[in-house]
Structure 1
Amino acid sequence: MDLDAHGGNKRVFQRLGVGPSTTDTKQKVCFHWRAGKCNRFPCPFLHRELPLPPQTTGPANGTTTKRFANSSWGRVGNNSRPVRKMEKVCTYWVGGKCGYGEKCKFLHSWFLGEGFSLLTQLEGHQKVVSGIALPSGSDKLYSGSQDETVRVWDCASGQCMGVVNLGGEVGCMINEGPWIFVGLPNIVKAWNTQTNADLSLSGPVGQVYAIAVGNDLLLAGTQDGSILAWKFNAATNGFDPAASLKSHNLAVVSLVVGANRLYSGSMDNSIRVWSLETLQCIQTLTEHTSVVMSLLCWDQFLLSCSLDKTIKVWVATESGNLEVTFTHNEEHVCYFLQIWFSCVMHTGFCILIMIKSKSKVDFWSCP
């Protein structure tokens, strides 16, 4: 290691912009201050960023140079540069206590990047929000939570318009047309926002963790490892029991429908592929080593994310069976996958949304 005469790391001092003869500790930036946690007064280290290195304004031989004046928070002279944000949400901002404002080194947003901005926060639930739904043609947003309630929000004002107490934790929530389906312990609630129909579909054993719709079937993944299916009855505007699919050993926590197939992810670390015509399991995928949290059909691919910190991309072979074609390793666990499509000036594009934690959301765009 390259040490100076006082036993310090010369490379570190040079990297901080301090000459070899400088030993003043005040030429170092306090890393506790950078993290917003310094409580020393007085602090022997700097509570500001160091100035930029000298800028050459004359010939290449260095005969004329100009140093930037000392300034705080990255400001140089009369010009300013944007503060480089760390990929971490400011905990003080979350608590409404950060005093640095736009100068804070940490994110004052749930998103990192351009194109998205926070409109408002819908506050009211006391526990984890486990599902949201925006029915077709509705100006109301519905959110379900483990606090055993569903809240109705006005999309224009962001105000809560009502609270429905359900008496059980909401495990999942989806909408299909005017219908809203809510998974509860031992039951699935079905609401029609146009006719105000309120149905209770019995049959599940334990918490309902996942719901999907396909081939005129309503499908629910349950805590006992089974998948219950109901057939929509247009004459009665209701749902008749159709089948119970049993193959998983543990709870079914994710469902998705694509290409006349049903894909189910489970706490038994497997993915089952079902035919929606015969309601039979036609393939079992076992490449994940932990719970399969979310599934997504994207074009000809199946995407899966798991608590094993991987996202796998599956593609069908000539035989029709799915095989892993790509595995993406994540630093953090990915809990949920969602795809959002849009069309601008007749040019389609899509965004893959990956939710890693309550403060980490990734957006991948594909042309």
Structure 2
Amino acid sequence: MDLDGGNRRVFNRLGGPSAAQPTDSSKNQKVCYHWRAGKCSRFPCPFLHRELPHPTGPTSAAANGSGAPKRFANDSGFSGPAPRRGPNFNNNHNNSWGRMGANKVVRKTEKVCNYWVQGNCNYGDRCKFLHSWSLGEGFTLLNHLDGHQKVVTGIALPAGMDKLYTGSKDETVRAWDTNTGQCMGVLNLGGEVGCMISEGPWLFVGIPNFVKAWNTQTNQELSLSGPVGQVYTMVVGNDLLFAGTQDGTILVWKFNAVTNCFEPAASLKGHTLAVVSLVVGANRLYSGSMDHSIKAWSLETLQCLQTLTEHTNVVMSLLCWEQFLLSCSLDQTIKVWVATENGNLEVTYTHNEEHGLLNLQGMHDSESKPVLLCACNDNSVRLYDLPSFSEKGKIFAKQEIRAIEVGPGGLFFTGDGTGYRVWKWAEAVPKP
């Protein structure tokens, strides 16, 4: 490979000795538009990196004190053509912005390349932006299924079925075949889906002023009335269905096997704004609200046992893991709570993020190590090893990821503004 000859050819285009004697090809060369804007990153660039007209003959040679233009040392230590300069470049500045040598590693920024997304990035491995929807090792993207017109707010996998359901703010629920990845049907609900869960054969969908319930085995459909405004979150515990609503109330239903219906059982009041997160653990129900608080309720008496006020913004998601309660908030923190001797919860650790937090899910990787999946409002999901909170990887999307669901066999799912992605932890390699 003629590296030296290649340098001379590029060098001549920048105004080397051959430029003094124009040829038919050099007469038609144009000044690089991107170079004029100070952001040309092509190497070699087929256009001129100088303004026209350019002085020729003895005058140009005398300007440099010799018969050839100056050459600068690039970052690799080899002599090469003069660095590309923007129109406002000042020769008095220390030149530390030189072009990277061919053998240098391009440091990737943690941002997905917009041109790569559109399928027309020309830089390939030299692009400083990511050509991938994830960073990190140990997990891979299996599939990306589009279909929804707005953000996916719920993902559910009813037990014993080969179907996956997604709900969206586009007012629809879609059913997907888990074997083929094909959409099997679309149900229009006439209202934004605020949340969706499955329990046994039942699929529950929260919409404004109602909870819709479907028995996926018998196709029985029920409408549970009582909510005021949007239903943002649901959970099942102690044979009860709980729904957090826009007016700050937690509604409770119990299934009656005789009538094959869900009957109202209680209405839990205490939050002053909408309840947006619910979780059950250690014989308690925990609720997070837009009023910045977390409340702990007894599953036996349905009485409030404790109110936690350490968060300073909306408590978006709650997760029970072993003896710990984890909470995340738009205040850019994840808090880890542990019960004291008297049974009350106290913060034992606070993890700080640079962005607001939307959703928490926990699972084990291929080596059975606990991993926390945390959706942030910068259109990403962080993956953390527990209990160290050391970063294990990142997942990116075009829009906010509002839904995360864990499946069998190392699968997990993330829902964003158009559909959902299927991820899988790689199989662990046995040690010799």
Query: Please, what TM-score do these two structures have when normalized by structure 1?
Result: 0.78
Higher strand share: 1
Q: Tell me the equivalent position of 1:21.
A: none
**Compared with structure 1, are the counterparts of its residues 43 and 268 closer, same or farther at alpha carbon in structure 2 (3 Å cutoff)?**
closer
Q: Is the 8 A contact 1:109 1:118 kept in 2?
A: no
Deviation of the 1:362 alpha carbon? 0.6
Deviation of the 1:45 alpha carbon? 6.7
Q: Tell me the equivalent position of 1:353.
A: 373
Superposition pairs for residues 47-86 of structure 1, below 5 Å?
47=41, 53=76, 75-76=102-103, 83-86=106-109
Deviation of the 1:48 alpha carbon? 5.6
Instruction: Name the aligned partner's letter for residue 288 of structure 2.
Output: G
Deviation of the 1:82 alpha carbon? 6.0
Q: Distance in 1 between matches of 2:141 and 2:183?
A: 18
Higher mean displacement: 169-178 or 152-161: 152-161
**Compared with structure 1, are the counterparts of its residues 171 and 41 closer, same or farther at alpha carbon in structure 2 (3 Å cutoff)?**
same
Q: Tell me the equivalent position of 2:55.
A: none
Residue of structure 2 aligned with 1:253, choices 276, 295, 307:
276
Q: Tell me the equivalent position of 2:142.
A: 119
Does residue 228 (structure 1) correspond to residue 251 (structure 2)? The answer is yes
Residue of structure 2 aligned with 1:40, choices 25, 34, 47:
34
Instruction: Name the aligned partner's letter for residue 47 of structure 1.
Output: S
Q: Distance in 2 between matches of 1:73 and 1:196?
A: 62
Flag the structure with more relative contact order, 1 or 2, with Cα contacts below 8 A and sequence separation at least 6.
2
Q: Tell me the equivalent position of 2:310.
A: 287
Q: Distance in 1 between matches of 2:350 and 2:111?
A: 25
Query: Please, what TM-score do these two structures have when normalized by structure 2?
Result: 0.67
Instruction: Name the aligned partner's letter for residue 363 of structure 1.
Output: L
Q: Tell me the equivalent position of 2:385.
A: 365
Q: Distance in 2 between matches of 1:309 and 1:188?
A: 30
Percent identity over paired residues: 68
Superposition pairs for residues 98-109 of structure 1, below 5 Å?
98-109=121-132
Q: Distance in 2 between matches of 1:281 and 1:45?
A: 60
Q: Is the 8 A contact 1:110 1:359 kept in 2?
A: no
**Compared with structure 1, are the counterparts of its residues 163 and 42 closer, same or farther at alpha carbon in structure 2 (3 Å cutoff)?**
same
Q: Which has the larger radius of gyration?
A: 2
State the SS of the aligned residue for 2:115: helix
Structure 2 unaligned regions, length at least 5: 1-13, 15-31, 44-72, 82-98, 388-432
Q: Is the 8 A contact 2:76 2:100 kept in 1?
A: no
- Give CA deviations for 1:109-129 in whole Å, capped at 9, x if unaligned: 332111222222211111111
Deviation of the 1:326 alpha carbon? 1.1
Q: Is the 8 A contact 1:229 1:244 kept in 2?
A: yes
- Give CA deviations for 1:293-331 in whole Å, capped at 9, x if unaligned: 111111111111111111111111111100111111111
Q: Tell me the equivalent position of 2:197.
A: 174
Deviation of the 1:100 alpha carbon? 3.0
- Give CA deviations for 1:144-175 in whole Å, capped at 9, x if unaligned: 01010011112222221111000000000111
Q: Tell me the equivalent position of 1:213.
A: 236
Q: Distance in 1 between matches of 2:80 and 2:274?
A: 63
Q: Tell me the equivalent position of 2:176.
A: 153
